[in-house]
């Protein structure tokens, strides 16, 4: 009997060890994939502004880490310009319909990309910790152009790009107006939703382990990535937030959390039927009316 118990216990211990090792290996691999984007496997632009009959320039800037970043500039007719930042593991072409929309109202557009995305150099995604330096490099580029009024610079971002837009505007007082479409409020608030979306894994026991490995590989604590701490620093400059109630990429309460943390003037457009970054496609006419009116008011004083 004792021998049978020992054999059974040994098998159980071996099984538990095997499961634990497998779990650790899987979550470490998932964390690596979430935070790395090698050029060979990343998404690249499938369209350019030419497909939208837009005049544009290919532009390149270099960030403080020496990485070259790729972008497009569409000239302004009214002296104002909108920086547009795409989302996580996406590309500049994601925002071409928004660029066409703003250009039709006289605005210039700078379609930016950040490290480890698009054709930009780098492979490590730091969820805004270092990408904000990339945004500053793009801002400095705009200051070199004599066709842009530096007092008329706004920013618009989708998803992760919305969070970056909030973060960057909180640090740069010369960004005069911010639009964030489906931005996440903080990693703490949205990590379970986002990990499930991008990996298909349930929250327990995978999310805490993925977060652990992500923090180990980057040296970044997830609680540091918190747009609810940055957004109040933007006031008295205006913020326009959009959030869909059917969002499965970021937590659907992200918009309300950001709105509650923001100072005035602030606006939240919440639609319970919309998913992630669907306002410009599913509500295109209202999207154009509201976004253009927002920038007209705060950049052109109209």
Q: What is the pTM of this model?
A: 0.94
Residue 41 is assigned to a structural domain of this protein: yes
Does 171 fall in a domain?
yes
Partners of 82 in the β-ladder: 109, 154
| Assigned domain for 158 exists | yes
Residue 226: pLDDT over 90: yes
In a domain? residue 7? no
Strand order in the sheet with 108-112: 57-62, 68-74, 108-112, 81-85, 153-158, 177-181, 239-244, 266-271
In a domain, 153, yes or no: yes
Q: Of 227, 230, 195, which Cα lies nearest the Cα of 210?
A: 195
Q: State the CATH number of the domain containing residue 125.
A: 3.40.50.1820
Statement: residue 287 has pLDDT above 70: yes
Determine, yes or no, domain membership for 213. no
pLDDT confidence of residue 4: 81
Q: How large is the average pLDDT for residues 158-187? A: 97
**Pair of tokens at residue 87:** 């989302």
Decide which of 1 and 283 is more confident.
283
Task: Give me the chain's average pLDDT, please.
Answer: 95
Give the pLDDT confidence score for residue 159 in this predicted structure.
97
Residue 70 falls within a domain, yes or no? yes
pLDDT of residue 5: 83
What is the torsional sign of CA 74, 78, 83, 87? negative
Segments forming the whole domain that contains residue 171: 36-186+225-299
Residue 140 lies in a domain: yes
How many independent structural domains does the chain possess?
A: 1
pLDDT score of 262 more than 60: yes
CA-based end-to-end distance of the chain: 87
Q: Which pLDDT belongs to residue 1?
A: 57
pLDDT digits (tens, 9 = 90+) for 101-110: 999 999 999 9
Tens digit of pLDDT for each residue in 1-49?
A: 588 887 887 888 888 888 889 988 998 999 899 999 999 999 999 999 9
Cis peptide before 265 (omega within 30 of 0): yes
Helix (H, G, I), strand (E, B) or coil at 38: coil
């Amino acid at each position: 009997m004792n021998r049978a118990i020992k054999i059974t216990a040994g098998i159980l211990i071996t099984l538990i060890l095997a499961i634990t090792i497998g779990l650790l290996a899987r979550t470490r691999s998932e964390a690596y994939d979430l935070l790395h984007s090698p050029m060979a496997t990343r998404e690249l632009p499938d369209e350019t502004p030419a497909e939208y009959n837009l005049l544009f320039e290919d532009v390149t800037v270099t960030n403080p880490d020496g990485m070259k970043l790729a972008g497009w500039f569409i000239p302004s007719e009214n002296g104002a310009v909108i920086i547009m930042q795409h989302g996580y593991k996406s590309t500049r072409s994601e925002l071409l319909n928004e660029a066409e929309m703003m250009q039709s109202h006289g605005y210039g557009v700078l379609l930016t990309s950040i490290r480890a995305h698009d054709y930009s150099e780098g492979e490590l995604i730091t969820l805004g910790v270092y990408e904000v330096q990339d945004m500053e490099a793009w801002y400095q580029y705009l200051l070199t152009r004599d066709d842009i009024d530096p007092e008329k610079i706004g920013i618009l971002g989708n998803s992760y790009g919305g969070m970056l837009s909030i973060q960057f505007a909180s640090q740069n007082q010369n960004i005069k107006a911010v639009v964030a479409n489906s931005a996440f409020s903080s990693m703490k608030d949205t990590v379970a939703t986002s990990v499930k979306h991008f990996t298909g894994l349930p929250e327990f026991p995978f999310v805490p382990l993925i977060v652990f490995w992500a923090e180990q590989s980057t040296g970044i604590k997830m609680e540091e990535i918190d747009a609810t701490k940055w957004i109040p620093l933007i006031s008295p400059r205006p913020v326009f937030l959009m959030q869909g109630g059917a969002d499965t990429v970021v937590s659907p309460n992200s918009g309300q959390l950001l709105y509650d943390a923001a100072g005035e003037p602030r606006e939240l457009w919440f639609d319970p039927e919309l998913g992630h970054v669907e306002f410009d496609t599913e509500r295109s006419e209202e999207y154009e009316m509201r976004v253009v009116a927002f920038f007209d008011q705060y950049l052109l004083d109209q």
